[in-house]
Amino acid sequence: MIRIVIVDDHPAVRAGLETVLRGEPGMVPVGSVSDVTDLWPTLYRTKPDMVLLDYHLPDTDGLAVCRQIKRQLMAPSVLIYTAYAGSALSIPATVAGADGLVGKGVPAAELYDVIRRVAKGERVIAPIERELLDDAGLRIELEDLPVMGMLLDETTEADMLDVLGIDAEELDRRVERILQRLSIEVPRFAP
Amino acid sequence: MAAMGSPGASGTARAEGPAGRARPHKTRRPDATKASGARWQRPAALPPFLALLLISRVAATGTAVALLAAHRVTDDDTLLIAIVTTYAAAWTIAVYRWPGVTGRPWTWVADVAVVHALLWYSSDWRSPFYLLALSSLALPAAHLGARRALIVGFAYAELFLLTGHFIGPDPLGLGSQASLETLAIHLVLPVLLCFGIGYAAETLRTLARERRRGERLAIETERRRIAWELHDSAKQRIHAAHLVLSSAAGGERHQVTAAVEHAMGELGAASADMDTSLAELRSPLEGRPLDVALRERAAQLSGISGPRIEVRGSLPGLSPLHAAHAYRIAAEALTNALRHSRAAHVVVDLRTEDGDVAISVTDDGRGMPSSLRPGASGLLAMDNRARTLGGVLHIEPSGDDGGTRVEARFPLSASQAGASA
């Protein structure tokens, strides 16, 4: 049984996901929250296998939340669920340590499939196109290039620290900087 | 002093653009369908700036004429009076007829030259034409900005001193203290006047620019808010509906029913969200009050097919959404009356009653058919709109000898939120 926590700021999406996940054998929604402050207690209480995380949250960037989740001990898998699924998000999602990236427009069957593959430990992110990689390379700092390369290549953190000769904090800082440079414009408005 | 009226006068001119735009139409011409275009044109009435400029000009001319009449200034006082009166009249007519010339440097130079020639001819720098000379500096000062206006002021003071030196009595050779004081005043006034007008005009120009920028920003914010609304509400709901429906494909009967119900709920809400956004995006009223828009629509319709359409009453300001829906309801009812009822006389009545907005369209035609033709979507749409506003739509016979009355009522309190927006 795959136990899933849903993070999305829109009630319609949360309700839809809960309905859909509950109806499928082998997976169950164990919690659904609208923002990050509610997320942590829910994670500690339910110990889910997976977090289905909206990319576009009202106050924070979904990828920043993803990094925070993945930093936990025994972290659940994180599947980014986004209305901006295009391949443009592939690189930032991988850098942030997400296990999967799926668009909000996909039919339920495909969502089930992605959830199952991620639960098995697979990384389900669309292959990164050459142009996107070139573009990302131009947008980030030169010294961050090896960090991004290794992250995309799924190098473990220990190996990265070893190769780069930096400490964990410095690595953290650099990853953050990469994500900032690669952030994608989404319509935002604070009413 | 007549000439001193000018700083305020030209100041008003700078404010005139934005103020004129913000001012609501008080009288509407029948061709106000092109309202957005008409609103940007120069108003038919003279702008306050030009009015004040003309008044100060007339006052300066009057002073000159009075002084010429009171004292013997030259041997040709009568001729001078004739010249200065004619010139003032020509100048006034020219400025009134072609206000655009007030911004042209050659008109400034010509004006200063003519007035200065008069001053020269009076052969004393304590001339009756001094006020006129000052008033000729108002236009350049208003157009050039504070710093350059100050330069113009100093330049004119120099020119005046030079003129005085040539036409006498020699300004620097005067012995008496009183004359030196007069000279000082004559020299300082143009400088102060030019700087004052220039500074005020520049400040007002800056204000107007800031206001335009503010308007652009407001539009941009509105655009982003609508994009955000579409994304955050409608799109999310459609995603949810799609997801739920797709999960039901091939499922059992009760699952499918539940999924369809869920999805329909979301789709209904999404459509309402989009209605809101679209009504704001594409208001049929284009900023006009509801009754004005309806009168125009009535004029268009009766022009085509003949029947007399009367629009009675008016309504308080409604929010854009409410006004848009109310307009569409009334316009649809009007179209129906003209298309199906063979009416000769249609009355659109707008009023508030018991805290409700009531809009009715009454015709004297042949009444409603006993059964509606299939696909009468106009009536359904009207009913939906009335419900969207939290109101109801009534359709009933209007009298014993046929005729139909369509009335939409919705609460007034809810419809005024954001009416000023």
Q: What ipTM was assigned to the predicted interfaces of this complex? A: 0.76
Highest-scoring range by mean pLDDT, B47-61, B163-177, B379-393: B47-61
Asked if A23 has any chain B CB less than 8 Å from its own CB, the reply is yes
Asked if A145 has any chain B CB less than 8 Å from its own CB, the reply is no
Is 70 exceeded by the pLDDT of residue B30?
no
Q: What is the pLDDT of residue B35?
A: 39
Calculate how close chain A gets to B287, using CA atoms only, in Å.
23
Give the contacts of B105 (CB within 8 A, at least 6 positions apart).
B140
pLDDT of B85-138, one tens digit each?
999 999 888 888 888 888 889 999 999 999 999 888 888 888 888 999 999 999
Q: What is the pLDDT of residue B14?
A: 40
Chain B residues within an 8 Å CB radius of A7: none
Q: What is the pLDDT of residue B24?
A: 41
Closest C-alpha to A111, from A50, A34, A60: A50
Calculate mean pLDDT across residues B10-17. 39
Q: What is the pLDDT of residue B262?
A: 87
- Top pLDDT among A58 and B372 is at A58
**How many degrees, rounded to 5, is the angle at CA B217 between CA B213 and CA B218?**
115
Instruction: Note the helical H segments in B230-319.
Output: 236-248, 253-281, 290-305
Q: What is the pLDDT of residue B366?
A: 80
Asked if B271 has any chain A CB less than 8 Å from its own CB, the reply is no
Q: Average pLDDT of chain B?
A: 78
Contact A185, A86 (CB under 8 A): no
Calculate how close chain A gets to B257, using CA atoms only, in Å.
13
Nearest CB among A83, A111, A187 relative to B227 is that of: A187
- Top pLDDT among A157 and B283 is at A157
Residue B63: count other Cβ atoms within 10 Å of its Cβ: 18
Chain B residues within an 8 Å CB radius of A13: 236, 239-240
pTM summary value: 0.49
Nearest CB among A13, A108, A188 relative to B236 is that of: A13
- Top pLDDT among A110 and B232 is at A110
Give the contacts of B208 (CB within 8 A, at least 6 positions apart).
B14, B15, B17, B18
Calculate mean pLDDT across residues B189-212. 90
Q: Give pLDDT < 50 ranges for chain A.
A: 187-191
Asked if A146 has any chain B CB less than 8 Å from its own CB, the reply is no
Q: What is the pLDDT of residue B1?
A: 36
